[in-house]
Each structure stands twice: as C-alpha cells, then as structure tokens.
Structure 1
Amino acid sequence: MRKRFCIGTTVLMTGLLLGGCLQRAVPPAAPPGTSPPPAAQPGGVPGPAPNAAHPTAPTPAYERDRPATPDLTGGPESQNRTARTTPREGTDPSRILYFSGPRTAKQVALTFDDGPDLRFTPQILDILKQNGVKATFFIVGTRAQAHPEMVRRIVAEGHAIGNHTWDHPKLTKLTPQQIRDEVVRTDQLLDSIVGYYPALFRPPYGLTNPDIVREIGAMGYKIIDWSVDTRDWAGTPVPQMMDYVRTELRPGAIILEHCAGGRSEDLSNTVSALPQIIDTLKAQGYTFVTVPQLLNIPAAKMSAE
C-alpha cells in the first residue's frame, strides 16, 4: 500500500514539473487587438518590434529636408532658363555688371546659386573642403531663414556669399520698390546670421535690364553674372557638363552651378561633376578664388541700402 502511494506521488510530481516547463516555453497569447511581444534574439535580448515606432530604415535627410526648404517663387531654373548661345565676358560700361574677371591670370571663380538646402549644399561644401577650394554662394533669403546653420558653415569655411533675393522671383516683373524689398530683406537677414551685408548680387535666372542694373547699383552692389554655364539646372549629364566647361573656359571665368534647386530638380549631376571640374582645371594650371578676389572688389558693404 505504501509502495502504491509513493509511485502515485512520483507520477503526480513529474506531471506538475513537465506542465510548468511547457508553460514557460510557450509565450502567452497576445490580448486581442495588440501585437505579439518581440522575439528574443540570441542571448535573450528582445528584438525590435515591427511597428511604426521602430521603422526598418530611417528617412533620408534630404527627404526630411524637402518640406523645410522653401521653393523658388519664380519656379525651377529648368522651366525659366535657356542656355546662352554666346557666352558673355568682361563687364558692362557702368562697372556694375560683371560676366568675368581679368584674363591676365589663370584664375577662375566657382559660384553656386539658390541655396542653402540640406541635401546638396553640404555635399558641395564637403567636396570644396576636401580639395582646398574657395567658392562664392548666392543665397536665397527664405532658404537662409530655414537653414541659417548652413549659411554660417559657408562663411566659416572661407567662402564668399552674395544676395540672390528673398524668394527668387523674376525681377523683370517687379516694381522698383518690390525689387528693393527683396534685396534689403535678404541683406538684413544675412547680416543677422553672419554679421555683415554682402556687396555681391546675382539676379534670379540671370534676368535683368538696364533699369534693374541701375537700381541695384544704386544700392551699392556689384551684379555678378557668369561666363561659363554648366547647365546643371537642365539635368545635363556630367560628360556634357564637362564639355561646356572646357569649351567656355577662359582665364578669369565665373562658372555657374547650383547648390540647391526647385522641388523637381535633382542636382546629383553637380555633385558628381564638381570633383572632375576641380581636377581638370587644376591640371591646366588654374587656381580657384572667390568672386571678390577675382574682381578685386569688396565682399561686404556698410548697410543694406
């Protein structure tokens, strides 16, 4: 009798032990309407739950930037520009509007329009820094307001800046007072960011006329056009961009590129072409300078008017 009791007790204890092990091995079912708990990784560390709080890949910086970088009021360059059939050089008789610098030395100035943004501008600055090249950036006011840290970086790394209006309109469609408002508002913002008023101005899309030249000149600016157009704004392939540079290049050249674009514009071609442009011109004996250095003009002026 005692033997049967012992056997029964042993069987009962074994069953209880097995049941407890099985209960620990099988996770409890998730309550209705909830996600199951994350599976354990080797070592017993829970893995990330596949939900919105843990996306599989972070959103690229340039995608996060798109809503924050204001668009160009006049529209993207590709919808408002045509390439010039005859490159321009030198300066106009007023000594206000410049297309290029002196041809007495093998110097060139790289210029970048429509920035800053957080997608292309940092890449361009990185390339310039890696190659020890200084350039000139023509800044749109609304974009400087959105990304003041990029304007500070441009200046801190030794580049020159110029005024490219507040929101990139077509100046030929504005009144003289509207033009002044565009320019002064941008200058006041740039002064608040970097501590000075730029003395350089570039009209959006290169659109100007004698009245605009007189108006801007009376405000103390030098208007900076260009003599070499890479046509990056048209989505031009890199080999074709290089052909344009080789064909139009002269000592004293001012080269037009962009460090930001309109919503529909992809300037990956500019980023890819820039190291090639630098290497090609250096191999030909050119040195890179800022526009004020090229033209021997001040980089800053005393006031916004």
Structure 2
Amino acid sequence: MATRTSRHGGAPRARRRRLSMRFLLPSLVLAALMAMLMLRGFVHSEILADHRVRPEAATDKVPEKILSGGPIIDTRGGRETSLDLPDHRLVLTFDDGPDPKWTPKVLDVLKRHHAHAVFFVTGTMASRYPELVRRMVREGHEIGLHTFNHPDLSYQSKRRIDWELSQNQLALEGAAGIRTSLFRPPYSSFADAMDDRSWPVTQYIGSRGYLTVVNNRDSEDWQKPGVDEIIRRATPRGGRGAVVLMHDSGGDRHQTVQALDRYLPLLQHRGYDFENLTEALDAPSAHTRVTGLDRWKGRAWVFAVRASEETTGVLVVCLAVIGVLVLVRFGLMFVLSWAHARRVRRRDFRWGPTPVTEPATVLVPAYNEAKCIESTVRSLMASEHPIEIIVIDDGSSDGTALIVEGLRLPGVRVVRQHNAGKPAALNRGLANARHDLVVMMDGDTVFEPATVRELVQPFADPGVGAVAGNAKVGNRDSMIGAWQHIEYVMGFNLDRRMYDILRCMPTIPGAVGAFRRSALERVGGMSDDTLAEDTDITMALHRDGWRVVYAEKARAWTEAPETVQQLWSQRYRWSYGTMQAIWKHRRALVERGPSGRFGRVGLPLVSLFMVVAPLLAPLIDVFLLYGVVFGPTGRTVLAWLGVLAVQAVCAAYAFRLDRERMTHLVSLPLQQILYRQLMYVVLLQSWITALTGGRLRWQKLRRTGVVEAPVPMPRQRIGSGNDRRPVG
C-alpha cells in the first residue's frame, strides 16, 4: 500500500533527490570504512629483508673519494664529501622500526647502559607507533628517515623519492613534533657499495637538505647468525670509530637485544662512547622542532592512522562475527529445512484428523493496482478451495475499483475507503469478512489454483494461528529479478522452514499468508505502529501463544521490483519495519510463557540473521578487496570462494527443495558482489533512520503487470455470499 503522491512535475526530481540523499550517507559511511582499511593496508606495507632486491650496477659515476670514504656522505649544496667518525666513538643505528615488541627492549638496554643511538624509522611504523618515537626523542636518541614504506629508491622517480621523504617527515611531525636531516636509504650498505644507480639518488637526497648515513660495521643481525657473531661483526678494530648497523624491527630481534646487552658494556670497557651521530661529530642536532600548521597536519595524520588501526580491529571482529553467523545460519537452514521437508512430505503427514474444507475470505488490499488487479482476481477465481474475495480499494486514483467491478465476477466484492494505508485496508476487509479463515495477499500477486487450499490446511491444528505461504518471483527474467528469485528461494523459504521447526516464524509474507480470524482479533488486528505490519502481526501472534507455520505448496507469484530505486524503496521499508517490530516487541525478552519463549529464541535469531548479518555481510567483500590489494591474495581469494561455495551449496539445496531450475544460480557470484552491497546500504540507511528518529513513508512500487494468472478461465468454486455490490 502507499500514500498519495503528487503528480506535479517536480515530484520525480524530488524523488531523485531523496534517493540521492538516501544513498549519500550510507555511501559515505562505506567509503569511510574503505578509506580506513586502505590507510591501514598502506601503513602495513611489508618490509623485505635488508638487502638489495636487484643486481648492483657499475660504479663509473661514483667519485673515488666517496667509494673509499666514510659512512657519512654529504652532498648538500653540491658538495661531494664523506666523513669518518673519530676513534673510540660508535654510533649505533637501528633500521626499520619502531616495533612494538622489540624497540622497547632495545631502548631499555640502551637506557640501562647509558648509551645513545640513531633510529632510522620508516613512516609506516612511526605512524602506527608514535609513542615509541616520542620515547626515543625523550631519552636523547636521534631519529633519521628510512623512507615511508621501504622501497629501493635506486629504481624510483624523483617524485616518488620526494613523496617518501615528505610522508616520512609527516609521520615524525605527528609522532614527536620534529623534523630530521638524517637519511638512510633502504637496502644500503657500505660506502664502497655505492653504484651508478644509488649515487644519483644520494646526490638528489643531498639537494633536498639531507645527510646520508650508511655504515662501516654491519652486524647482519637480520640473518640471526647468533649473539657472538653479531657482536663480532659489530666490533671495530684498532679502536677506530664506526657507524654500526642493527635492526629493531622487521622480524624476530631477540638475538639483537641479547647481543646489545653484552656489546655495550664490553665496548664501553674498551673506552668507546655510544653517541648520537651529531654528538659524535660535534655538530648541531639533526632535529628541528615543528610548530603551527605543520605540527597539526602531522597530528592529523597520526590520528588517522590510529583510527584506521582501531577501526580495522573492530572490522576484523565484525568479520569473525559475520563468518560465524553465516556458517551457523547456513548450518541451521540446511539441517532444519531438511527436517521440515522430511516431516511435511511424509505420505502419512496430516495437519489434523480431517482436511480443512470450510470457506475462506481472501483480502486483497489495493492502491493504484490497475495494471495487476485483474490478473490477481482472476487467479483467485480459479481457486480449488471455496472462497469469497474482498478487494479493498485504498483510495486509488487509477480506477482500480472500477476494473474489479467491471469484471462482474461472482463472489467478488469491492470495499472502498479513503487512502489510509495497508493495515487500515486489511482491518476494513477483516470487518467485512464472512469466514473465520482469512487469506491476505497483495494486489500485484497471483495465486495458483491450489494455493488457498494448501494455505488453509494447517488450520486443522487448532493451535495454528497463521500460515506463511511460498512467495515466488514472477518477473525473474531481468538480472535484478533473478537475484531476487535466488533470495526468495534460498533466503526467505529456507528461513521459513528453519523458523517453522524452531517455532519462531518472524514474518507472514504480505503476498501470501493466512490467519485465523479469532487469533487476529485477540491481538487487536493489523497495526500501523510499524512499516512491516506483516512482521508486527506475526510477532504478536507468537506472543499470544499461537503457532505460526509454513506451507511450502501454497505458492504465490509476485512482481518483484525491476529497478534499483524500486528495490531500494521496498527493502528500505522492510528493513526499517523489521527493526521497528523488534523494538516494539522487545518486552518479550523478559516475559514468561509463549511470549518469553519467542522473545528469547525468536527475537535474537531475527536480530542476528535479519539485521546484524546483512549489515556485516559486505565485510566479506570489503576484506576480499583489501586482501587482493595488500595480500595475502591467494588465501583471501580462497577464503572468499569458500564462503561462496557454502552459499552455492545452500542455494542449490533450496532450489532442489522448491523444485526450481538451477540455471538461475549462474548469477549467484554476481549477486553476492553487487546485490549484497545494495542490501547493506539499505540496511545501514534503516539504522541511520532509526537512530535519528526519522519516520519513513510508505513507498509505492511502480507495477508493470507482467505476472499473469496461472489459468485463463475461472472456476466457480466460491463461498457463500455472491453479492457483487461494492461496499462503502
């Protein structure tokens, strides 16, 4: 049902604006989450082993004084000089950090032995662990740049080099409020290893104001050769000064820490001082304090990285939750739907001692259903069960009521009312019904001849208050229709089999459902408290102690939305209405009796499987993209394909139970990638509407009338009261 809509020319533009706004906020949320993940992946770039990744080049262009010079290379202002450290002065340097496990241990050892060092940090690690950078500065150590994410600069453009430097500085500005003039290229070694590829980079780095620091003692601790070997390789000979290369990140550094704890007192006893580089050279500090806008930009960067870390942590937990929910739901659906099918398909299965033959009233609420209403009514006239038909015209402006009256079919009545919505129309029809068994359907739906008969048979059990039928998509030829067909067969109908066994069916579909009139009257009839009156009334019946069951053979063919806008409107209402219904019946969680049973079994399952799981399901695809971009690609794709395989098995099983052709499952992978995202945005918008206290209007779908009645000629199987006069 729907409220009246304006026919003014501005209405389409207004609808487009509303649709754009609905997409905008959820899309912004999704984009923000993606941005957080991409940022997290960006700052978690893997650091490779500390050696050149490509063959070294010739050395023709490198000055001999550089090749034979010291480990400190100065190319600032066009200079081409190198420096050695004075005797008995050692500068310990640590690359690739800071690391949350090993850097604090290194700092503790340095502090215990009153030694200073230079930490060449990467921007990725400094952004993630700014508190360790602050500790380095606070305890008197010097910081140098080691690029942002550790590429071999010999094979990078000047633009990339500038970016690596600036991002590395930005991380330092945010972490400790400093800039530095020290730089060490990734994969660097001794000065005599400089070649025709790395020398131009060193010259360019100098032109940007940086002092390049390599080393002349390499502990090679990244190879984990043993504590004694690390100490041997790091010890200079003859009391000479040296720049010593070690690592505080990039892998297991326990040998480095152990070696350092022995190395420092050993060489201090030999008269060595462990100083910062500028201290060892008697030069001004390499650090420059940063204030003002640059400081705030750095803080903003570090905050964004920290936020991405926290957000990703939450998303990983959510991914684990959705993984468990998906597997639990599919497991329950598979097992319980099998149990349901086995029970109701037994040859001796009966709902009661005798079949139900008493007539039923079929209520057809209709608002502007001129394209569909004739097919709907004629399909009912072919019913194999005695019925009366009441079409409630809810203020249609397209002549829906006149079409029905013009058919002059026996047993069909038209009730007119001013536009008041679907719940009011159903209550009006209920007041005019002549029978205790009431079938409700939509104005765009057609029944098979056996539908009503199959729908009312469960009422042979006096404890049954309502019956859910088997709604099927009639217009499944389009891509959107095919996706919804899969959803109806796999999701809705397997769900209903599962909920039937668990005795907590959450929704009687508006397209095909039946009720015991006395049960409806006991709970106050159809309510307009929510936008999902079918879910609301079903929950109310559960709480009143009635059993709600599923009749798989009661098939109805409905016209599913054919455009994204129409699908959005329908699912937005369903999602928001379901959330309203859950909130309305929340007291069932603490009540006793049938209400409490539904509250403690049905409400949690509905909340998890219909609200939480669809909201989190797109994380599977989000992490697929993340894994493909940042790795491990193979395992990520394999995990995603595993989830898809589980869904495909469930879908195939559902299609077999419903005796549907398997050909439509070809579009299942695309449905999971695209359709799931749309459902996520719809559900997210519903959450936003609920949290902001918004009130969603009923959205009328534009029908095409493509779903036809299954039989062309009516059969005269009608109930009492063949009055064709419209009831006002």
CA contact (8 A) 1:69 1:146 kept: no
Q: CA deviation at 1:173?
A: 1.4
The match for 1:102 among 69, 85, 88 is 85
Corresponding residue for residue 199 of structure 2 = 210
Corresponding residue for residue 294 of structure 1 = 280
Q: CA deviation at 1:107?
A: 1.2
SS of residue paired to 2:101: coil
Query: How many angstroms apart in 2 are the aligned matches of 1:68 and 1:119?
Result: 20
The match for 1:237 among 210, 226, 237 is 226
Deviations along 1:22-81, one digit per CA (max 9) or x if unpaired, are: xxxxxxxxxxxxxxxxxxxxxxxxxxxxxxxxxxxxxxxxxxxxx999555552226859
Give the direction of change, closer, same or farther, for the CA distance of 1:195–1:234 in structure 2 (3 Å limit).
same
Corresponding residue for residue 119 of structure 1 = 101
Corresponding residue for residue 89 of structure 1 = 70
Corresponding residue for residue 201 of structure 1 = 183
Q: Which amino acid aligns with 2:49?
A: P
CA contact (8 A) 2:74 2:206 kept: no
**Range that drifts further, 150-159 or 206-215:** 206-215
- 1:260 maps to 2:249: yes
SS of residue paired to 1:223: strand
State the superposition RMSD in angstroms: 3.1
Number of equivalent positions? 231
Give the direction of change, closer, same or farther, for the CA distance of 1:272–1:224 in structure 2 (3 Å limit).
same
Query: How many angstroms apart in 2 are the aligned matches of 1:241 and 1:154?
Result: 23
Deviations along 1:181-221, one digit per CA (max 9) or x if unpaired, are: 00011112211221221110010111762211121111111
CA contact (8 A) 2:71 2:84 kept: yes
Corresponding residue for residue 137 of structure 2 = 155
Query: How many angstroms apart in 2 are the aligned matches of 1:109 and 1:274?
Result: 13
Q: Which amino acid aligns with 2:70?
A: E
**Range that drifts further, 166-175 or 237-246:** 237-246
SS of residue paired to 1:162: strand
Q: CA deviation at 1:273?
A: 0.2
Q: State, as a whole percentage, how many aligned pairs show the same letter.
A: 31
Q: CA deviation at 1:276?
A: 1.2
SS of residue paired to 1:275: helix
CA contact (8 A) 1:201 1:223 kept: yes
- 1:76 maps to 2:59: no
SS of residue paired to 1:256: strand
Query: How many angstroms apart in 1 are the aligned matches of 2:68 and 2:224?
Result: 20
Give the direction of change, closer, same or farther, for the CA distance of 1:249–1:260 in structure 2 (3 Å limit).
farther
Give the direction of change, closer, same or farther, for the CA distance of 1:89–1:175 in structure 2 (3 Å limit).
same
Query: How many angstroms apart in 2 are the aligned matches of 1:271 and 1:98?
Result: 34
Give the direction of change, closer, same or farther, for the CA distance of 1:210–1:69 in structure 2 (3 Å limit).
closer
SS of residue paired to 1:77: coil
Give the direction of change, closer, same or farther, for the CA distance of 1:177–1:302 in structure 2 (3 Å limit).
farther
Query: How many angstroms apart in 2 are the aligned matches of 1:216 and 1:302?
Result: 21
Q: CA deviation at 1:89?
A: 2.9
Q: Which amino acid aligns with 2:221?
A: D
Q: Which amino acid aligns with 1:101?
A: D
SS of residue paired to 1:168: coil
CA contact (8 A) 2:72 2:213 kept: no
Give the direction of change, closer, same or farther, for the CA distance of 1:117–1:161 in structure 2 (3 Å limit).
same
TM-score by length of 1: 0.67
The match for 1:277 among 244, 250, 263 is 263
The match for 1:251 among 224, 236, 240 is 240
Deviations along 1:67-112, one digit per CA (max 9) or x if unpaired, are: 9995555522268599xxx996355574778876333x42111111
Query: How many angstroms apart in 1 are the aligned matches of 2:199 and 2:152?
Result: 15
Query: How many angstroms apart in 2 are the aligned matches of 1:99 and 1:245?
Result: 21
SS of residue paired to 2:271: coil
Which sections of structure 1, spanning at least 5 residues, go unmatched? 1-66
Give the direction of change, closer, same or farther, for the CA distance of 1:125–1:161 in structure 2 (3 Å limit).
same
Give the direction of change, closer, same or farther, for the CA distance of 1:144–1:249 in structure 2 (3 Å limit).
farther
Q: Which amino acid aligns with 1:275?
A: D
Give the direction of change, closer, same or farther, for the CA distance of 1:98–1:258 in structure 2 (3 Å limit).
farther
CA contact (8 A) 1:114 1:258 kept: yes
Question: Which has the larger share of helix?
Answer: 2
Q: Using CA pairs below 8 Å that are at least 6 residues apart, which structure has the higher relative contact order?
A: 1
Deviations along 1:152-175, one digit per CA (max 9) or x if unpaired, are: 111111111011110111111110
CA contact (8 A) 1:99 1:227 kept: no
Give the direction of change, closer, same or farther, for the CA distance of 1:285–1:89 in structure 2 (3 Å limit).
same
**Range that drifts further, 88-97 or 265-274:** 88-97
Query: How many angstroms apart in 1 are the aligned matches of 2:139 and 2:272?
Result: 21
Q: CA deviation at 1:302?
A: 8.0
Which sections of structure 2, spanning at least 5 residues, go unmatched? 1-39, 56-66, 295-728
Query: How many angstroms apart in 2 are the aligned matches of 1:149 and 1:210?
Result: 34
Q: CA deviation at 1:246?
A: 3.1
**Range that drifts further, 244-253 or 281-290:** 244-253
Query: How many angstroms apart in 2 are the aligned matches of 1:81 and 1:134?
Result: 34
- 1:225 maps to 2:225: no
Give the direction of change, closer, same or farther, for the CA distance of 1:179–1:93 in structure 2 (3 Å limit).
closer
Question: Which protein is bigger by CA-based radius of gyration?
Answer: 2
CA contact (8 A) 1:116 1:150 kept: yes
Q: Which amino acid aligns with 1:213?
A: T
Query: How many angstroms apart in 1 are the aligned matches of 2:42 and 2:248?
Result: 13
Corresponding residue for residue 26 of structure 1 = none
Matches within 5 A, 1:15-54: none
Query: How many angstroms apart in 1 are the aligned matches of 2:160 and 2:218?
Result: 28
